[in-house]
Amino acid sequence: MLLPASSPGAAPRRFCDPQFLCVSGDEFLFEEHRLVVPPDDLGVEGRGRLAIAAATHVAAFSVACLGGLKVATIEVHGTRGNLYECSPQAGAHFGGVMLRWRDAGVVMAVSLHGHNELNRRLVVALAAHMEAVSPSRGGAG
């Protein structure tokens, strides 16, 4: 996807700006730690943390849920995915509910911090609206 345009005279924005966690190899990891949630929200706990990841293999850090407990199998984009409760030491998806599936040969994952039913439903809804897009080759963008 295209990145937002920079202001005239400003340095162009790179994908691996410090606000993003970049991983080497064939992986992608986006984390949002400042997810704003209402004070009475029953889903995302405490930090309001969202993580979206993709990798070419299931053992990659960006899509791993170390020590996670598989809680369900969910259909995502016509394929089966697994819903996990990740441990606090689980790597990129620590302490969260993570849904992981394959899309176009790529392992995809989305997680929200906190183990609860609303987060399970939210990650399923997020996954349903995600689409794997091949990177653009050449040209601007």
* pLDDT, tens digit (0-9, with 9 covering 90-100), for 96-122: 999 999 988 889 999 998 888 988 999
Residue 83 has pLDDT above 60, yes or no: yes
> End-to-end alpha-carbon separation of the chain, Å?
7
Least confident of 58-62, 74-78, 125-129, 132-136: 132-136
Task: State pLDDT tens for residues 25-77.
Answer: 678 888 887 665 555 555 455 456 889 999 988 888 889 998 899 999 999 98
Q: Which residues of 86-102 are buried (b: 16+ CB within 10 A; e: fewer)?
A: bbeebbbbbbbbbbbbe
Between 83 and 138, the higher pLDDT residue: 83
